[in-house]
Amino acid sequence: MGIAPTLAVTQPAFWPLTLILFLPAIVAGILALPIIPRGKDDSVRWVGLATTIAVFILSLWMAVPAIFGAGSPGQFTVGDAGMQAVVKQPWIPAFNIEYLLGVDGISMPLVLLTTFLSVLAAAASWPIEKHVRPYWILFLLLETGMIGVFVSLDFFLFYVFWEVMLLPMYFLIGIWGGPRREYAAIKFFLYTLAGSVLMLLAILMLYFASDIRSLSDDQLLATHVVSPALEGADRAAALTAVHSHPKPVHTFNLLALAAIGQSPASPFAATSFWGMTLESWAFLLLLIGFIIKVPVVPVHTWLPDAHVEAPTPISMILAGVLLKLGGYGILRICYPICPGAGLSFAWLVCGLGVVSMVYGAFAALAQKDFKRMVAYSSVSHMGYVMLGLGVWSAVAGHEYQWDAWAQGVNGAMFQMLAHGISSAGMFFMVGVLYDRVHHRNLEEFGGIFNRMPLYASLAVAIFFAGLGLPGLCGFIGEVLVTLSSWNYSRLLAVCSAFTVILTAAYILWAIQRVYLGAEYKGPHGDHLTPMTRRELAIAVPLVVLAIVFGVAPQLIFNYITPTVNRQVETLAEWTRSIHDGHPAAAGAAAAATDDGAVGFQAAIDSFSVGGGR
């Protein structure tokens, strides 16, 4: 279904972004060839580690131009709220499927988190001795899949990368996991596959209901349906080709679908099936697919089993990155494309978040397995993400002021990044002990501080970050989400604050049982040796980042706040235009929204310790 001739457009980010995305997969393909002889496992390990380091440096060059010198084409501009480094090439023209990539303040920090944790997980993979080559091939394919989800702007491409992650993770758990690895891997596979099927149904519903001919010229350019780099006659010809097409022109372009979904005459809201609009069905189907990955109660049961059975580096990736894919999908796809359903089902999203955070905390308190306790803590912490995303308070009762909702979404984004640091660190610290004593029974630990003082000090710092201690990264997101939920529901805000007490209880109790006490009570006490240099090289960066992001949160907010505020502002104005009958604003919202921006900025500035702009 080609709608316009392919025109040459300069795309300076094509090679940097494509290399970040596909370099791990390319190296995985090379490792599959008999270039490195059998038995050279160390060579395979070094190639895999070097690949993750190269991808991290590339992503760092793109995301933090101040380190390498700003001004190079394709680098990210901090503070720019729009989509940057857009790469657009035709892929399957018959269905308008494109190789469409891009990053903004929401996706760029998550890409950086993915590449950073991939380096640490690769270093943590050194003790893997069984089937070393297949392990590293699957590990690198998994990295490509994770990055691909965060940078894809075509819904079909997004779904491809979403599925690409499934098989590597299934085999990484099923082959290199613990005693019940097959059960955990199959459970993970079935849950994720069920969510993927529902997501595919929603994608097809939205695709066949879309028609980009309804978009204005400005919207076609802003959503990159027609490249804004085109000029003069080429631009005019491309725009005319879209508007003059004789049949509906369907699209998988996520930006275009969002523009269609937020239009006053949205076809998603106008079409009904079985008593609900297409928009509501699509939102619920997508939400189920994403919350399975988050995960939230009641679709969380695959997570503890997967974490307990997965090897340490895969647990780090699972907790640090994979859980964030669900929250990212809700923020990137559900709310912008299905805003009416998002507003209607805000109570559902918030309710699921609060139930998950409270249930996860109580479940963590009841655990005797160290790793399972940390797994349930992830269920609890990701509940804050759900609550922050769902507190849609920019409604008539609050005069469509969006500052409280922006505070919640910014807090949810910060929580995802902070949890990526703290959870990966907690799982690694559990793995360090397990590698030595080969058990995780909390009742048989104790006295680790006397045996391994450096390790225990780093572990306590990481666990305090997970606890949400002020001055560490876990505090900022939780307090912003709790404050933002007050305007939406006082009851939910109280539950959120109460969960902080439960979190402190299970973290402090774990620290007491494992690291404090007079002596170690379990087997293999003679194996409690000091941390190796490799282990220190993994743990120290996580602790440093937990402290840095805790005392200088602006380092993260400078990236995420402009994009998040722009999305929240746009949806708040959509709420006003739809429910009050006012014409939708084409640009920024009115001066009243500036007060919201100032209020949120004051809130996050209050958490900075020498971390201002």
Res. 17: pLDDT tops 60: yes
Q: What pTM, to 2 d.p., does this model score? A: 0.91
Contacts of 416 (CB under 8 A, 6+ apart): 110, 324, 327, 328, 385, 477
What single DSSP character describes residue 531? P
Res. 30: pLDDT tops 70: yes
Contacts of 240 (CB under 8 A, 6+ apart): none
Res. 24: pLDDT tops 50: yes
- 395 or 432, which is more confident: 432
- Closest of 276, 252, 309 to residue 98, by C-alpha: 252
Contacts of 79 (CB under 8 A, 6+ apart): 558, 562
Mean per-residue pLDDT, 278-301: 94
Give the model's confidence band at 599: pLDDT under 50 very low, under 70 low, under 90 confident, else very high.
very low
Q: How far is the C-alpha of 252 from the C-alpha of 158, rounded, in Å?
A: 10
Q: What is the pLDDT of residues 577-596, one digit of tens each?
A: 887 654 433 333 333 334 44
Q: Is 568 within the bounds of a domain?
A: yes
Q: What is the pLDDT of residues 226-280, one digit of tens each?
A: 888 888 888 899 899 998 989 999 999 999 999 999 988 888 887 777 778 999 9
Phi/psi-derived region of residue 23, left when phi > 0, alpha when psi is between -120 and 50, beta in every other case: alpha
Which of helix, strand or coil describes residue 520?
coil
Side chain identity at 30, as an amino acid letter? I
Q: What is the pLDDT of residue 601?
A: 52
Q: What is the pLDDT of residue 10?
A: 67
Q: 533 burial class (0-12, 13-18, 19+ CB within 10 angstroms)?
A: exposed
- Token pair listed for 530: 């000091």
Q: What is the pLDDT of residues 69-90, one digit of tens each?
A: 766 778 899 989 999 999 999 9
Q: How far is the C-alpha of 108 from the C-alpha of 126, rounded, in Å?
A: 28
Side chain identity at 53, as an amino acid letter? I
Contact of 485 with 478, CB cutoff 8 Å: no
Q: Is 183 within the bounds of a domain?
A: no
User: What are the φ/ψ torsions at residue 194 (nearest 5 degrees)?
Assistant: -60, -45
Residue 125 CA, distance from chain mean position: 23
**Dihedral sign from CA coordinates of 188, 278, 148, 567:** negative
Rg (alpha carbons) of the chain, rounded to whole number: 24
Contact of 584 with 574, CB cutoff 8 Å: yes
Contacts of 312 (CB under 8 A, 6+ apart): 124, 427, 428, 430, 431, 434, 435
Q: How far is the C-alpha of 497 from the C-alpha of 505, rounded, in Å?
A: 13
Q: What is the average pLDDT value for the chain, to the nearest integer?
A: 89
Domain ranges, residue 513: 345-607
Q: Is 212 within the bounds of a domain?
A: no
Burial 183-210 (b: 16+ CB within 10 A, else e): ebbebbbebbeebbebbbebbebbbebb
Number of domains in the chain: 1
Q: 92 burial class (0-12, 13-18, 19+ CB within 10 angstroms)?
A: middle
Res. 597: pLDDT tops 60: no
Give the model's confidence band at 98: pLDDT under 50 very low, under 70 low, under 90 confident, else very high.
very high
Phi/psi-derived region of residue 177, left when phi > 0, alpha when psi is between -120 and 50, beta in every other case: beta
Which of helix, strand or coil describes residue 367?
coil
Res. 548: pLDDT tops 50: yes
Contact of 53 with 119, CB cutoff 8 Å: yes
Q: How far is the C-alpha of 387 from the C-alpha of 409, rounded, in Å?
A: 9
Contacts of 97 (CB under 8 A, 6+ apart): 91, 154, 156, 157, 252
Mean per-residue pLDDT, 406-423: 95
Mean per-residue pLDDT, 281-303: 94
Q: What is the pLDDT of residue 544?
A: 97
- Token pair listed for 483: 């404050």
Q: What is the pLDDT of residue 590?
A: 35
| H helical segments located in 520-607 | 533-551, 554-579, 592-605
Q: What is the pLDDT of residues 373-400, one digit of tens each?
A: 999 999 999 999 999 999 998 887 777 8
- Closest of 114, 10, 104 to residue 59, by C-alpha: 114
Q: Is 425 within the bounds of a domain?
A: yes
- Closest of 361, 398, 515, 503 to residue 450, by C-alpha: 515
Q: Is 308 within the bounds of a domain?
A: no
What single DSSP character describes residue 369? B
Q: What is the pLDDT of residue 9?
A: 61
Q: What is the pLDDT of residue 106?
A: 95
Q: What is the pLDDT of residue 2?
A: 54
For residue 398, how many other CB atoms are within 10 A of its CB? Answer: 16
Give the model's confidence band at 297: pLDDT under 50 very low, under 70 low, under 90 confident, else very high.
very high
For residue 71, how many other CB atoms are within 10 A of its CB? Answer: 7
Res. 612: pLDDT tops 90: no
- Token pair listed for 457: 């000090």
Lowest mean pLDDT segment, chosen from 156-160, 338-342, 485-489, 508-512: 485-489
Q: Is 167 within the bounds of a domain?
A: no
- 602 or 442, which is more confident: 442
What single DSSP character describes residue 126? T
Q: What is the pLDDT of residue 593?
A: 37
Q: For residue 277, what are the β-bridge partners?
A: 272
Contact of 569 with 148, CB cutoff 8 Å: no
Q: Is 476 within the bounds of a domain?
A: yes
Q: What is the pLDDT of residue 581?
A: 58
User: What are the φ/ψ torsions at residue 517 (nearest 5 degrees)?
Assistant: 95, 170
- Closest of 208, 343, 342 to residue 273, by C-alpha: 208
- 579 or 296, which is more confident: 296
- 68 or 97, which is more confident: 97
Contact of 302 with 187, CB cutoff 8 Å: yes
Q: Is 578 within the bounds of a domain?
A: yes
Q: How far is the C-alpha of 218 from the C-alpha of 222, rounded, in Å?
A: 6
Res. 1: pLDDT tops 60: no
